[in-house]
Structure 1
Amino acid sequence: MATVSIEADIKARWPQGQCAHSPGSAEELTIIAIDLLVKELGTESAHAFISQVLSRHTASATTV
């Protein structure tokens, strides 16, 4: 596994508010992305989307 460092400034707005983040790791970026995905799609749809994405990675890992 590789160590990844991230330099980003994320600003997001939605009708009920806004946020700004500066993630420094892939884990922090993932938390921000999931939070925004839940805000946009709702919990169940976000969960289904994430499961679909992860299933593609699981399938490719078993074929290596």
Structure 2
Amino acid sequence: MIYIFYFLFFGFLLTAIIGLLASWIDRKVTAKVQYRVGPPLLQPLIDIVKLLGKETLIPAGSSKI
């Protein structure tokens, strides 16, 4: 049973890493086509940290739904 957990954890981790790497490669290639430098290697991780640090603002008179 514990082996299934390790297998799933490794699969999710590998999928996340491949997704972040593919996003970085896409942004880097797009920048090269437009004769720009492009983002640094850790930019996808920086974007995730920035997204997690944002505060959700709900105006006082609005519905929370």
Range class of TM-score, shorter chain: 0.3 to 0.5
TM-score (structure 2 length as normaliser): 0.34
User: Which of the pair is proportionally richer in strand?
Assistant: 1
Between Structure 1 and Structure 2, whose CA radius of gyration is higher? 2
User: Which of the pair is proportionally richer in helix?
Assistant: 2
TM-score (structure 1 length as normaliser): 0.34
